Amino acid sequence: MRFNRSDRLVLLFLFAFILAVWGGVLLDRWFLQPRGDLVSLDEAGMDSLEAAWGVEVRSGSGGMAAVETSYYAVPVSQPETFPFDPNTADSTALLRLGLAPWQVRSIYKYRAMGGRYHRPEDFKRVPGMTPEVWNRLAPAVRIGESFRYYDREALAREGKPVGNTDGHRTEGSADGRTGGSAGGRTEESAAERAEGASSDSVPRYPHQEKFTELVHLDLNTVDSTTLKKVPGIASYRARQILRYRDRLGGFVSAEQLSEIENLPLELQAWFDVQTPVYRKLNLNTATIGELARHPYIGSARAKAIANYRRAQGRLTSLADLSLLSDFPADVCRRLEPYVEF
């Protein structure tokens, strides 16, 4: 390839420009910048070790040794143990007790939804609670009197009324005194009502009558008003029970109440099942959404049922599903009262 005179001049100019640039870089690196003492690899490694681990490395005749330096030490916070009420403790106190931030958020969410810790053992149900942490915190749990369940035997020994179990004054009563009407209901004179009406310093709240003796309620027919008469059940827990009953289609035993989140086990003593399941799910005609809504099926099993219907056709019994990994024997046993074909 031959270049004319103008092309050769351009190439020569570019070559000279490149040499000038490289020459400037080398001149700046080796002659113009001050050159400090070279650092060996061993010295550089010791500097990084001191910065990363907070130790000073010293070399001697016996080799290198690491010496701790206090000015690099980082303090580690230790969990504290002090008396606290889980119903009122703030996030700072809960974190000082050694609980994780996500556990504190769970406690705040539970309290915001109306949940309360009525006994120290209730705090044991906090998500992520380990035996080690619980054994340390258990002696420090202090439940405020306004959050405790009433001790009926202690009230009876003191001669106090036991019909009112929610701590509020009975509606229309000025001093909380009860009469002798059946079922623990209160009676008051006209003078007492006038005295209560004229007193503005004592706030009045709607009173929810509570059962004074153990009764057995049918879980499949009980309504919200009757549920709230059970000691330990208020509006939120009544809604929980009714919502879960609707999702199931009815209860088959009182033990199913243990499947409801944060519901005390002792409440099962107040219930039994006297009527059968009132709604069953047809596994051949129900949609995926209807199947997934059932507590014993969920979205994964609903898709497995839909895939089986698409591939194999109609289901005739739960035995058809028992071959699938999503339907072990215990799941089929729980589903049996709730499905039809």
Contact at 8 Å (CB) between 327 and 318? yes
The number of helix segments (H) and strand segments (E) in the chain equals 12, 6
Kindly report the backbone phi and psi dihedral angles of residue 261, in degrees, each rounded to the nearest multiple of 5, phi listed first: -65, 130
* Spatial distance between the Cα atoms of 319 and 305, rounded to a whole number of angstroms: 12
Across 98-102, 164-168, 296-300, least confident range: 164-168
C-alpha closest to that of 277 among 205, 196, 215, 221: 221
Predicted local distance difference test score (pLDDT) of residue 10: 81
Q: Compute the average pLDDT of residues 274-287.
A: 93
Instruction: Count CB neighbours of 143 within 10 A.
Output: 19
* Spatial distance between the Cα atoms of 332 and 314, rounded to a whole number of angstroms: 17
- Written as one letter, the residue type at 116 is R
pLDDT digits (tens, 9 = 90+) for 14-45: 888 888 888 777 776 666 555 544 444 445 44
Pairing of strands 55-60, 63-68: antiparallel
Predicted local distance difference test score (pLDDT) of residue 78: 87
Pick the residue with more confidence: 283 or 57? 283
Sequence-ordered alpha helix ranges (H) in 228-340: 235-248, 288-293, 298-312, 329-335
pLDDT digits (tens, 9 = 90+) for 115-170: 889 889 899 889 988 988 999 999 999 998 888 876 666 556 666 555 544 444 43
DSSP 177-188: -----GGG----
Predicted local distance difference test score (pLDDT) of residue 199: 44
| All residues at 6 or more sequence positions from 181 whose CB lies less than 8 Å from its CB, including other chains | 187
Q: The tokens 């030490």 sit on which residue?
A: 73
Q: Any idea which architecture 217-272 has in CATH? A: Orthogonal Bundle (1.10)
pLDDT digits (tens, 9 = 90+) for 302-312: 999 999 999 98
Quote the radius of gyration of the chain (alpha carbons, Å).
Answer: 38
Q: Which residues pair with 96 in a beta bridge?
A: none
User: Mapping DSSP to helix (H, G, I), strand (E, B) and coil, where does residue 68 land?
Assistant: strand
Question: In the structure, what pLDDT confidence band is assigned to residue 244 with cuts at 50, 70 and 90?
Answer: very high
Distances (CA, A) of 273 to 71, 241, 317: 69, 14, 25
| Model confidence, pTM | 0.43
Contact at 8 Å (CB) between 184 and 212? yes
* Domain positions in the chain: 1-31, 44-76, 91-146, 217-272, 281-340
* Spatial distance between the Cα atoms of 30 and 8, rounded to a whole number of angstroms: 33
User: Mapping DSSP to helix (H, G, I), strand (E, B) and coil, where does residue 84 land?
Assistant: strand
C-alpha closest to that of 177 among 194, 165, 164: 164
H or E element, residue 55: strand 55-60
